[in-house]
């Protein structure tokens, strides 16, 4: 078992727990069971071990360790199975050997017993002869009596084949003896062996015995040995020795085995001496010789006898018995058995035949070779096979895991590569589109200039076509560029204050032409809860809305396109209320898809948004969550195409692209943009009814108290809106409200007169929807005349008309109308129209274009600004530009000077810094300035420097703007990293300058407050 | 020449400069910066530009003639020149400067010399034109007129 332990410990030496003790108690019999248990544990542990390796060790080490363990496992079990084989085999052999020994001993004992019985009987016969032959006178026994007696008592001597009695005759007595017997003493055949002589000697042929001192002629013999009568035994060498020893010792003496001629078998002769009676038991050999009077010999046919004996035993065939006479140990004489010497096991049993001189042995061996030890072979092979299988399973598992890990790594590699390729593609696209844009701008500019030259109509047409195509191309490139930018994550949103309503008005004017062509009603409505000024990326919002409206216009042939903006909370609260039938109460009367379905999937409405709680609303941050919808009454999107609406370059069908053009990436870009603004986009579409796209964006509120329009000249006026369609009237009211006009809605034209004459409020104007007007044109002259008759102020009558609707046709009462206002309504346009109608003075109130400059002026006015540039020309130009906006400019031509000038306390409100300068570039200078400021700030904080000494400023941070000619992303990031607040392109560009300056002056003032 | 034709000539000349790309929008912006408080702004800046550029061009010629050209230095000069030409709107000078810088990066002396020649040509051209322009301005002002604005 120790050996077993040794083997099993080899692969398991890494367990240092109790299981190894258990192993000590293992016996071979239950080895199998235990082995199975072990294998289970091992595999489990192996797993854990591997996992450990996997997660905590380096993979390489784990792998080699595993390989080594596996090898040890297999080798260990191999040795163990060999040992099992050896052990079981040796057990079997041992058992066999024991069995053979017991069988052999049994046979030897039986043989010995029977031999002894025969010997005893011979002795008895000898006593018989001495009693009845020698002691009686005359003898009571003659040859016939002896032969018969011997024959009859043969069963008592199973091992003897014959007996003979020889008498001792001295030479002096020879003649008398010969006369008495009637035959002469004969000599044994000298050339032959004594048994041969005994057996076939013909008494007539035999020589007469020569003269000797004494003779031992045979007088009695059993019938079958009758021929030996009268032969002198002393003349035979063997017999003589036997006789001499026998009479000397007084015991039975055996000859060496010799072949019996008659039966060709081996035999031995046992000789007993017959003494005169009265011999003492302790007689000396000489006395014994003296007293000897005859000799009794028995012939033992060993072979036959052993055969007989073996016959009596059952399994005599299973073993092979050899009997040897080993008196001379060097030359054992085979007495029985074939002379086969195998290498297989044999057993030796000693035989005692009562002759102390002679030694006999019995050799036994199995007749058949021992069968192959099948049990041992199968057990060991089975063990080995199971161990190998387990090893294989481990190996397979380990290699499988390794393979999976490899695959995983490969996948990661491929994924990385794919992502890199994707980014590279996007960058390539971005670069290429950018590069295309530049020359395209040249082309377009040239075309514009060409248009201005003197062209005939055909040429002009060509040029216009070329320009239109060029513009289309540029917008396409812009789209692709956007897509690429979004994909490569380079798109950054701006955060500038803007007026959403103005932006939406702009968008509407953009589509004015197209809507007019198709006769569509285009309207915008912004909830009055939406703040005036929002902070966000208006360009992108414009892009999204433009895209949605553009799509709507493409696919809408009649009806309307309605853009609405609400706060998230409004929509939330209206969700429950707004259950009325939607279909009729629409802008143009055409049914629309229920827009509520378009935001069904929005997360923002699903989760309990904190903003929906009114108590939180007031305290909630400045974040504004807008819900913007674009509703149309177009053809709708086929159901099967609805799933891929937001997939880039996927259009409803190939024919769509041919009919309507477009690349099909607009919506995908819109989705990305909405995502960037932390919003969601969704839609609902019913074929032949229309689609509604809704998206949400999160913007920041900017607190403002100035409202340009509300403080306009119309403030406080009241307008009566006459429209039988409340949804449409809502839009009109919205625009009037923006101008500070108080709108009152009247659905029924017949009620207008009562309204006007009620006198509770003075109505300054009446806005009549063209449709309502044409439905009942005759009532209007009546109203006017009635008012005239009553001497009342006749309010201005304004007609709201779609561009296509034929106002002129129903001109029956057109003379009462002051102005026709062409839809789509926009605040600025409405203002102009009203001003014209009401005859207000046209003060210069054009918002566009001038604003940045004016604002810049107000922002920069009397601000102390440091401009740093090594290039004196640039310095001069930049200074000139800033001075133009009213700033006080100081110039510095190197970074070092700038640092000196900006050492707190200083007077500067801002610094414009060139980046690329010799000696010290803008980044370095900025870093140094920031370090300086941090130092001072710390000193102020810790009280080392009284803050009065540094200009009553607690926190020094001068806004630094980089001036750079090449505005690329990397530069921008670098700027921010070095502590700059932004960058402007060089030479200055008005709007960008404005944007940056507002940003940091706003933050600067906040900080200083 | 009467004032009207002078002014017309001035406009034609300026638009021709813009059209040919010798000058770009930046120059008109410069002109916009000029007002009563700063009457000689454009002249001042352009004179500065001339001085600066001449210095730089001389420097460049010297540097490029040397056996071992210090391209870093060349690049710094060209960058400077590019900056100032961009500031006054001398577009063609700026364009050549951009090509020039590429050659600097490649350390291509041949290309650099070639560019230097072009820069000089362009510089002389724009200088010539601007001087003409200023002369016209002077004449207009002398005739008691005002400079017509291009925007």
Return residues 85-104 of B near A (CB < 8 Å).
Answer: 86-89
Closest approach of A415 to chain B, Cα-based (Å): 36
pLDDT at A847 over 70: no
Residues of A near B (Cβ–Cβ under 8 Å) read 449, 869-874, 876-878, 880-881, 883-884, 914, 916, 918, 965, 986-988
Q: How many Cβ pairs within 8 Å bridge chains A and B?
A: 64
Contacts of A987 in chain B (CB under 8 A): 26, 29, 86-87, 89
pLDDT at A964 over 80: no
Q: Which of A439, A853, A861, A877 to mutate to test the interface with B (most CBs of B within 10 A)?
A: A877
Predicted confidence (pLDDT) per residue in A147-164, tens digit: 888 888 878 777 777 788
Q: Alpha-carbon torsion B36, B38, B40, B41, what sign?
A: negative
Q: Report pLDDT for A865.
A: 86
The two structure tokens encoding residue B97: 């400067």
Contacts of B86 in chain A (CB under 8 A): 874, 965, 986-987
> Mean pLDDT over residues A936-941, rounded?
82
Judged by CB atoms closer than 8 Å, whether chains meet at B88 and A877 is answered as: yes
Q: Is A800 helix (H, G, I), strand (E, B) or coil?
A: strand
| Domain parsing of chain B, residue ranges | 3-142
Closest approach of B22 to chain A, Cα-based (Å): 15
Contact call for residues A857 and A885 (beta carbons, < 8 A): yes
Predicted confidence (pLDDT) per residue in A321-369, tens digit: 777 777 777 777 777 776 666 556 778 888 877 777 778 888 887 777 7
Distance CA A720, CA A755 (A): 9
- A6-15, A57-66, A100-109: which range is least confident on average? A6-15
More confident call, A32 vs A995: A995
The two structure tokens encoding residue A230: 């009268």
Predicted confidence (pLDDT) per residue in A289-303, tens digit: 878 888 888 887 777
Q: Report pLDDT for A610.
A: 44
The two structure tokens encoding residue A416: 């990385």
Cα distances (angstroms) measured from residue A726 to each of A584, A730, A769, A773, A829: 10, 6, 11, 15, 22
- A38-52, A594-608, B127-141: which range is least confident on average? A38-52
pLDDT at A404 over 90: yes
pLDDT at A51 over 70: no
In which band, very low, low, confident or very high, does the pLDDT at A11 lie, cut at 50, 70 and 90?
very low
Predicted confidence (pLDDT) per residue in A633-667, tens digit: 888 888 877 877 787 666 555 555 555 555 567 78
Chain A, nearest residue to B26 by Cα: A987
Nearest to B33 among A874, A880, A918 (CB): A880
In which band, very low, low, confident or very high, does the pLDDT at A584 lie, cut at 50, 70 and 90?
low
pLDDT at A1009 over 50: no
**pTM for this predicted structure:** 0.41
Distance CA A285, CA A235 (A): 22
In which band, very low, low, confident or very high, does the pLDDT at A317 lie, cut at 50, 70 and 90?
low
Beta strand extents in A747-858 (DSSP E only): 765-769, 796-801, 819-822
In which band, very low, low, confident or very high, does the pLDDT at A949 lie, cut at 50, 70 and 90?
low
φ/ψ of A163, rounded to 5, equals -130, 155
Contact call for residues A842 and A524 (beta carbons, < 8 A): no
Q: What is the mean pLDDT of chain A?
A: 75
Q: What angle do CA A972, A975, A978 make, to 5 degrees?
A: 150
Chain B, nearest residue to A446 by Cα: B19
Predicted confidence (pLDDT) per residue in A234-249, tens digit: 777 777 877 888 888 7
Q: Report pLDDT for A83.
A: 92
Q: How many percent of chain A have pLDDT more than 70?
A: 76
pLDDT at A201 over 80: no
> Mean pLDDT over residues A622-626, rounded?
83
Judged by CB atoms closer than 8 Å, whether chains meet at B83 and A876 is answered as: no
Q: Report pLDDT for B13.
A: 85
Contacts of A877 in chain B (CB under 8 A): 30, 33, 45, 87-88
Distance CA A981, CA A985 (A): 14
Contacts of A965 in chain B (CB under 8 A): 82-83, 86
φ/ψ of A807, rounded to 5, equals -70, -35
**Any CB–CB contact under 8 A between B36 and chain A?**
no
pLDDT at A613 over 60: no
Chain A, nearest residue to B89 by Cα: A987
**Any CB–CB contact under 8 A between B32 and chain A?**
yes
In which band, very low, low, confident or very high, does the pLDDT at A417 lie, cut at 50, 70 and 90?
very high
pLDDT at A190 over 60: no
Q: Print burial letters for A355-381: b (CB count within 10 Å at least 16), e (below 16).
A: beebbbbbbbbbeeeeeebeebeebbe
In which band, very low, low, confident or very high, does the pLDDT at A416 lie, cut at 50, 70 and 90?
very high
More confident call, A827 vs A890: A890
Beta strand extents in A262-345 (DSSP E only): 265-275, 292-301, 319-325, 333-336
Q: Report pLDDT for A14.
A: 41
In which band, very low, low, confident or very high, does the pLDDT at A611 lie, cut at 50, 70 and 90?
very low
Q: What is the mean pLDDT of chain B?
A: 84
Nearest CA among A854, A853, A877 for reference residue A867: A877
pLDDT at A21 over 50: no
Closest approach of B2 to chain A, Cα-based (Å): 27
Judged by CB atoms closer than 8 Å, whether chains meet at A880 and B82 is answered as: no
Chain A, nearest residue to B81 by Cα: A871
Domain B3-142 CATH class label: mainly alpha
Q: Report pLDDT for A407.
A: 94
Q: Report pLDDT for A614.
A: 43
Judged by CB atoms closer than 8 Å, whether chains meet at B30 and A880 is answered as: yes
Strand order in the sheet with A765-769: A742-746, A718-722, A765-769, A796-801, A819-822
Q: Report pLDDT for A4.
A: 40
How many whole angstroms from its chain centre is CA A291? 110
In which band, very low, low, confident or very high, does the pLDDT at A17 lie, cut at 50, 70 and 90?
very low
Query: Which H or E run includes A872?
Result: helix A872-884
Chain A, nearest residue to B40 by Cα: A880
- A262-271, A500-509, A884-893, B135-144: which range is least confident on average? A262-271
**Any CB–CB contact under 8 A between B82 and chain A?**
yes
Rg, C-alpha atoms of chain A: 68
């Amino acid at each position: 078992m120790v050996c077993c332990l040794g083997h099993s410990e080899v692969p398991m030496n890494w367990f240092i727990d109790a299981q190894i003790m258990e192993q000590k108690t293992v016996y071979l019999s239950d080895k199998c069971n235990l082995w199975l248990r072990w294998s289970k544990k091992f595999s489990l542990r192996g797993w854990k071990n591997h996992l450990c390796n996997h997660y905590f060790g380096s993979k390489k080490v784990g792998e080699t360790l595993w390989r080594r363990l596996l090898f040890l496992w297999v080798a260990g079990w191999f040795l163990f199975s060999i040992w099992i084989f050896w052990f079981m085999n040796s057990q079997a052999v041992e058992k066999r050997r024991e069995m053979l020994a017991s069988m052999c001993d049994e046979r030897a004992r039986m043989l010995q017993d029977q031999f002894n019985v025969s010997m005893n009987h011979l002795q008895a016969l000898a006593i018989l002869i001495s009693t009845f032959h020698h002691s009686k006178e005359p003898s009571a026994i003659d040859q016939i009596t002896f032969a018969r007696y011997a024959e009859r008592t043969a069963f008592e001597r199973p091992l003897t084949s014959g007996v003979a009695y020889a008498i001792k005759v001295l030479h002096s007595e020879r003649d008398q003896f010969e006369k008495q017997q009637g035959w002469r003493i004969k000599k044994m055949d000298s050339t032959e062996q004594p048994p041969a002589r005994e057996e076939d000697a013909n008494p007539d042929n035999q020589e007469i015995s020569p003269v000797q001192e004494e003779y031992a002629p045979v007088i009695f013999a059993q019938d079958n040995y009758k021929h030996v009568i009268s032969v002198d035994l002393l003349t035979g060498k063997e017999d003589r020795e036997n006789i001499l020893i026998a009479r000397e010792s007084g015991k039975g003496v055996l000859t060496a085995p010799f072949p019996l001629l008659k039966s060709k078998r081996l035999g031995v002769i046992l000789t007993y001496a017959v003494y005169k009676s009265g011999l003492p038991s302790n007689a000396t050999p000489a006395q014994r010789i003296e007293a000897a009077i005859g000799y009794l010999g028995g012939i033992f046919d060993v072979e036959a006898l052993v055969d007989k004996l073996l016959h009596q035993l059952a399994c005599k065939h299973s073993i092979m018995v050899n009997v040897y006479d080993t008196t001379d140990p060097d030359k054992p004489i085979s007495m029985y058995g074939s002379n086969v010497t195998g290498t297989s096991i044999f057993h030796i049993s000693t035989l005692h035949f009562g002759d102390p001189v002679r030694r006999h042995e019995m050799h036994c061996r199995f007749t058949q070779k021992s069968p192959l030890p099948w049990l041992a072979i199968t057990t060991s092979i089975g063990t080995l096979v199971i161990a190998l299988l387990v090893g294989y399973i481990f190996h397979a598992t380990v290699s499988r895991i390794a393979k999976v890990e490899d695959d995983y790594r490969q996948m990661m590699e491929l994924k990385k590569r794919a992502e890199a390729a994707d980014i590279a593609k996007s960058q390539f696209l971005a670069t290429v589109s950018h590069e295309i844009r530049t020359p395209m701008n040249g082309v377009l500019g040239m075309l514009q200039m060409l248009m201005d030259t003197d062209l005939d109509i055909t040429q002009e047409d060509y040029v216009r076509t070329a320009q239109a195509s060029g513009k289309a191309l540029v917008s396409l490139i812009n789209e692709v560029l956007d897509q690429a930018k979004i994909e490569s994550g380079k798109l950054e949103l701006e955060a500038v204050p803007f007026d959403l309503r103005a932006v939406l008005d702009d968008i509407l004017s953009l589509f004015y032409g197209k809507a007019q062509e198709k006769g569509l009603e285009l309207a915008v409505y912004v909830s009055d809860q939406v703040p005036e000024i929002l902070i966000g990326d208006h360009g992108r919002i414009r892009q999204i809305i433009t895209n949605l409206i553009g799509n709507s216009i493409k696919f809408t042939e009649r009806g309307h396109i309605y853009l609405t903006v609400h706060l998230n909370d409004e929509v939330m609260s209206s969700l429950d209320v707004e259950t009325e039938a939607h279909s009729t109460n629409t802008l143009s009367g055409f049914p629309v898809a229920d827009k509520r379905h378009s935001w069904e999937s929005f997360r923002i409405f699903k989760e309990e948004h904190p903003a929906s709680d009114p108590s939180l609303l007031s305290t909630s941050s400045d974040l504004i969550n807008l819900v913007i919808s674009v509703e149309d009454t177009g053809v709708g999107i086929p159901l099967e195409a609805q799933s891929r609406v937001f997939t880039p370059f996927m259009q409803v069908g190939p024919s769509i692209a041919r009919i309507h053009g477009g690349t099909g990436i607009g919506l995908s870009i819109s989705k990305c943009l909405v995502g960037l603004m932390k919003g969601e986009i969704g839609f609902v579409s019913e074929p032949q009814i229309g689609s509604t796209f809704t998206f949400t964006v999160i913007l920041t509120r900017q607190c403002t108290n100035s409202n340009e329009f509300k403080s306009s000249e119309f403030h406080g006026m009241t307008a009566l809106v006459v429209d039988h369609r409340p949804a449409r009237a809502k839009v009109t009211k919205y625009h009037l409200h923006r101008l500070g006009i108080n709108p009152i809605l009247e659905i029924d034209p017949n009620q207008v007169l009562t309204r006007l004459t009620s006198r509770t409020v003075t109505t300054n104007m009446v806005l009549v929807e063209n449709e309502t007007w044409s439905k009942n044109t005759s009532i209007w002259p009546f109203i006017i005349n009635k008012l005239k008759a009553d001497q009342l102020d006749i309010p201005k009558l304004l007609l709201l008309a779609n561009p296509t609707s034929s106002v002129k046709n129903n001109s029956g009462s057109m003379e009462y109308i002051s102005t026709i206002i062409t839809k789509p309504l926009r605040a600025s346009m409405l203002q102009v129209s009203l001003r014209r109608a009401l005859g207000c003075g046209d003060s210069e109130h054009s918002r566009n274009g001038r604003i940045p400059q004016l604002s810049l002026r107000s922002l920069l006015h009397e601000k102390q600004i440091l401009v740093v540039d090594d290039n004196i020309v640039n310095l001069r130009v930049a200074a000139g530009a800033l001075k133009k906006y009213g700033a006080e400019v100081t110039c510095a031509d190197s970074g070092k000077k700038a640092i000196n000038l900006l050492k707190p306390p200083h007077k500067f409100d801002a610094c414009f810094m060139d980046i690329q300068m010799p000696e010290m570039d803008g980044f370095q200078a900025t870093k140094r300035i920031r370090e300086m400021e941090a130092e001072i700030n710390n000193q102020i904080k810790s009280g080392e420097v009284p803050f009065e000494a540094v200009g009553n400023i607690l926190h020094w941070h001068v806004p630094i703007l980089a001036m750079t000619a090449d505005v690329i992303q990397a530069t921008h990031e670098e700027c921010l990293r070095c502590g700059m607040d932004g960058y402007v392109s060089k030479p200055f560009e008005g709007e960008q300058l404005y944007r940056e300056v507002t940003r940091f002056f706003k933050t600067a003032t906040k900080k200083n407050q | 020449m009467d004032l009207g034709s002078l002014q017309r000539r001035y406009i034609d000349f300026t638009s021709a400069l813009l059209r040919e790309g010798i000058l770009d929008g930046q120059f008109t912006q410069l002109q916009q910066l000029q007002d009563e408080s700063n009457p000689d702004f454009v002249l001042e800046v352009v004179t500065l530009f001339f001085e600066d550029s001449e210095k730089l061009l001389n420097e460049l010629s010297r540097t490029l003639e040397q056996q071992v050209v210090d391209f870093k230095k060349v690049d710094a000069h060209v960058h400077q020149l590019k900056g100032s030409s961009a500031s006054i709107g001398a577009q063609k000078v700026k364009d050549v400067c951009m090509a020039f810088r590429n050659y600097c990066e490649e350390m291509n002396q041949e290309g650099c010399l070639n560019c230097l020649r072009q820069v000089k040509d362009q510089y002389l051209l724009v200088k010539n034109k601007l001087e003409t322009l200023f002369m016209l301005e002077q004449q207009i002002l002398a005739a008691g007129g005002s400079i017509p604005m291009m925007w």
